Chain A
Amino acid sequence: MSYLAYQFKDVPVGFRKLLFLNWPVVFLITAVSGFGFLMLYSVAGGSMNPWVTPQVQRFGLGLAVMVSMAMVPIWFWRNMAVVGYVIALILLVAVDIVGVERNGSQRWLDLRFMDFQPSEMMKITLIMLLAAYYDWLPLSKVSKPVWILVPLLFIAAPAYLVLSQPDLGTTILLVSGGGAIMFLAGVHWAYFATVIGGVIGLVTAVFQSRGTGWQVLKDYQYRRIDTFLDPTQDPLGAGYHITQAKIALGSGGWTGRGYMQGTQSRLNFLPEKHTDFIFTTLAEEFGFIGAFGLLILYALIIIFCVQSAVTNKDRFASLITMGVAVTFFLFFSVNMAMVMGLAPVVGVPLPLVSYGGSAMLVLMVAFGLVQSAHVHKPR
């Protein structure tokens, strides 16, 4: 739908737009972030430094960014999709060439005043581009192979660049987020069945061939996969963290050990306790009630987004809202599954709670798009 088709009189103008924000989502985001501040205060040993103060500042900045973005009509963001994607792609290539290396992976650009991670930007711009693409593409062509190849390339290019950094977690988020948009846009389900079936078949073949004459991978490659899937096989490396994380989480019980009373995180048994593993501290200190409560808050955010998407008649707005919701969902579900020992450790932060500036800002930008879509709904 072109913006000319909007009935302008029904779209709020000026500060009246504020009234039309998706307020439940705003409150939920604030609540989750507040949970995050509490936990960062706790893992710092009851101190605003070094994590809480910057995190609060970034949240404030993020909130402002989100509201400002909500004020801008959604068709403007759609028109920005291609430009944004191209810029993000160029930056990803730049990272590959002149990026800063840390802990063995090259993900950052040194912007003097801060380190910028283009793969974070790509998470949003990829969704935007795909949503714009399917907004433009007539439904009759959606399932034509040629028209499927195009979005696949849009996904594959950044996915390849990010994977080579290497950053497996972000790659998974990009591919699944992109795939979700394609699914929502109405690509024939047979394609998804084929891809999923193909992946399952390939994985089975790789594992079935082990020990036979036509073994696909080398022995040591199998061993690496083994430790990746089951870290307890490597008790000195990844297994140590997972074991400690599970102990911390499980020992929380129903009500937890009380705020700032978690011994596991206190005694430095936990790795990355302010970033990827922060959920374990939360679960230890607030117990099942706290952990499940956070899960409910996350689920509510998703529900409100889906509700907003389903009731929005603008295809781009609807797709972008769902896309952000799916990415957000992947964030927290992969992180939680990881620290609970249900998924391999891939390095995905807990959204809005884990300490980290660019992740927080990117999420707020994403929700800015969701809010803009909500405010500028055709009524």
Chain B
Amino acid sequence: MKKGPKETEEGARRLSRRAILLGSAQAAIVATLGARMASMQVDQADTFRMLAEENRINIGLIPPARGLVYDINGVVLADNEQHYSITMTREGAGDVDEVLARLDRIIALDPERLEKARGELKARSPFVPVTVAERISWEDVARVTVNAPALPGVVAELGRSRIYPQGSDMAHVVGYVGPVSDYDLSQIDDQDPLLQIPRFQIGKTMVENRMERDLRGSAGTKRVEVNAAGRVMRELDRVEGIPGADVQLTVDAKLQNYIQARLSGESAAAVVIDVTNGDVVGIGSAPSYDPNVFVTGISTTLWNELNERDVDVQLHRRPLAAKTVQGTYPPGSTFKMVTALAALEDGQIDADETVRCVGHADVFDVRFHCWRRSGHGNMNLNESLKQSCDIYYYDIAQRVGIDKIAAMGRKLGLGERHELPMSAIRTGIMPDKAWKREARGEDWRIGDTVNASIGQGYVSSSPLQLAVMTARIATGRSVKPRLVRSIDGVEEPSGAGESLGLNENNLRRIRSAMYDVSNHSRGTAYRTRIAAQEFRMAGKTGTSQVRRITQAERDAGVTRNADLPWNRRDHALFVSFAPADNPKYAVAVVVEHGGGGSTAAAPIARDVMLQALYGGTPPLSAYPSASRSAIAAQQRRLEPLLREIRPGRDTDEA
């Protein structure tokens, strides 16, 4: 734009004026900075020089004690153990490599560990102590202390580490802790300064992981003065941290110990729920592992072994998986209660109405078979459940329809994620028409209903869900499983649940049929009944196929389970509650590829149930007389696997 000379002149004058104004403001700021320098470097020089020369302030974190985990009787499941470790700071050491070399000469260091520590010393802030050696002996502590002048920045510290006194029994419930990793840090949005401590222990799985916030507590700080050599002169102040909250679980360590012992050798899971309040008193999964090996750092060999690196994938027994919540299986015949209850509630059947079983049924042009090829004859509700006839359920399921069956299944806790503080809990599948369209993009077929009616096809559920289902049938209430009894002494809400709103007469019919399964001579679980009058058990067997039986195979005669490779054998299931007239516990057992429910799962469920009811080893009189000698032999065999579990922490320390 065109400008007149007058304007240009005025602009220049204004600019000069403002430039001088701005210059003056800058001069004022420079004067302030100079004054501040003078005040710090001239007036307060002595104070600062003293701080610098003799004493420097160091700030350290005090890690809080992690909360303990107890069982329902006060038995310690996760404890803190004191031990010595050697730490070192970069600013204290000066020449890190030289000091480490000297330390290595005094006490032999683990080379792998040393390399790690060296990296951490480089990466972390100079004042952060890095652990160089852990769990060292008292002699080594003494050696380091004596040589302290040659080892600047090296400190022997009393630390705590996690220990799981129950070993593998609780691995699938309590989980384990491990040093915080970069991956952990990227996964959690947590500003807690404790996580900056190298190798700080955080929960990795299960209760330790899911209840991390309660268990961890919060950090304290201490400010100390150190002299030029890095030696601590005195502590200025100290703000104690808040120790983590103690967590009491509903699990009974003694029962859990028995479950793990009883399941040993199998790939199986068992869940015991107290039906009166939803407490999960036993939740075992086999095989298991020792969580303590993860705390100290697991060796590659053991890690490969636990991950079954050298085992054919078909034979994997997954010791690291908690099959109770992470395994889902077709529930097989244990699902028949759901189908029957749906039909009764819908008014589609009368309990006395009969269906004729000839060993197979044709649905349109597809033939479906009963497990008994010769057929059961005329079946009513009670007989069909007792003898586990399949044809009866094919028939009634078609009348009720899948949507109502699925609704009943969900009401009883199937296909629902029960929120326990455990990791990777699976929801299972309670299929209905909408589900299939959503998940498979296909329409529901009548054959799907037939398969689902006996807990095959798309239906899948975890052992925990089966135990919840049984507890709900036993009580008629919507029992909610509960694993945590109290946090820091504050009790968690009970899981007794509200009434399900089911017709009590219908429930009674189902329960009485379940009673007959185990107490009537034609029942599928008669041989594994409880003989003790006051503890009679009601149950249901289940055998679920993991393969499809082809027509050719059927013609040739169905292969016996024992002749099949392990991974193609049927899963064995059993659900039960007892005492039948006044239910206390519900038990669900799944034995992977165990064969038949009545032979593989029911005996385990019965033994676990008795153990729970008696609060220890039951008398032989509780068993039917025919099996007493075998049971006695079994008890002798399990004896060495059972540990003495002392209840209460106080007695433990006394």
Contacts and interface: CB of A to CB of B under 8 A. Distances in A.
A117 to B, nearest CB: 24
12 contacts: A183-B18, A247-B57, A251-B51, A254-B45, A288-B42, A292-B37, A295-B34, A302-B23, A309-B19, A322-B22, A333-B30, A342-B36
A268 B41 contact: no
Contacts of B52: 247-248, 250-251, 263-264, 284
B18 A136 contact: no
Interface stretch (A75-83, A193-201, A312-320): A312-320
B20 A310 contact: yes
Interface of A: 1, 136-140, 180, 183-186, 235-237, 240, 243-244, 246-254, 263-264, 267-269, 271, 283-284, 287-288, 291-292, 295, 298-299, 302-303, 306, 309-310, 313, 315, 318-319, 322, 326, 329, 333, 336-337, 340, 342
A184 B21 CA distance: 9
Question: At the interface, is chain A mostly helix, strand, loop or mixed?
Answer: helix
B129 to A, nearest CB: 13
Interface residues of B, number: 51
Interface of B: 1-3, 7-8, 10-12, 14-16, 18-20, 22-23, 26-27, 29-30, 32-34, 36-38, 40-42, 44-45, 47-49, 51-53, 56-57, 59, 61, 90-91, 94, 125-127, 193, 221, 223, 228
B91 A310 contact: no
A254 B59 contact: no
B12 A313 contact: yes
Contacts of B126: 268-269
Question: At the interface, is chain B mostly helix, strand, loop or mixed?
Answer: helix
Contact of B91 (A1, A137, A268): A268
Contacts of A284: 52
A314 B507 CA distance: 99
B1 A185 contact: no
Contact of B41 (A140, A287, A310): A287
B90 A268 contact: yes
Contacts of A309: 15, 19
A146 B49 CA distance: 57
B59 A240 contact: yes
B26 A329 contact: yes
Contacts of B59: 235-236, 240
B22 A336 contact: no
Question: Which of B37, B41, B126, B228 is packed against the most chain A CB atoms within 10 Å?
Answer: B41
B193 A236 contact: yes
B37 A291 contact: yes
B29 A333 contact: yes
Contacts of B125: 271
Question: Which of A251, A269, A336 is packed against the most chain B CB atoms within 10 Å?
Answer: A251
A298 B38 CA distance: 17
Nearest to A240: B59
Contacts of B48: 246-247, 249-251
A217 B29 CA distance: 32
Contacts of B15: 184-186, 309-310, 315, 318-319, 322
Contacts of B22: 180, 183-184, 322, 326
Contacts of B33: 295, 333, 336-337, 340, 342
B56 A269 contact: yes
Contacts of B27: 299
A135 to B, nearest CB: 9
A250 B127 CA distance: 21
Given A250-B52, A263-B228, A284-B52, 15 more contacts: A138-B1, A235-B223, A240-B59, A248-B52, A249-B41, A250-B49, A254-B41, A267-B94, A283-B41, A295-B37, A298-B30, A319-B15, A322-B15, A333-B29, A333-B30
A322 B30 CA distance: 17
Contact of A288 (B14, B26, B41): B41
Given A251-B52, A302-B23, A269 B91 contact: yes
Contact of A306 (B20, B41, B51, B90): B20
A310 B51 CA distance: 47
A251 B37 contact: no
A250 B40 contact: yes
A313 B125 CA distance: 54
A236 B49 contact: no
A180 B125 CA distance: 39
B20 A247 contact: no
A58 B7 CA distance: 43
Contacts of A264: 52
B37 A340 contact: yes
B49 A251 contact: yes
A49 to B, nearest CB: 17
A326 B29 CA distance: 12
B38 A288 contact: yes
Contacts of A136: 1
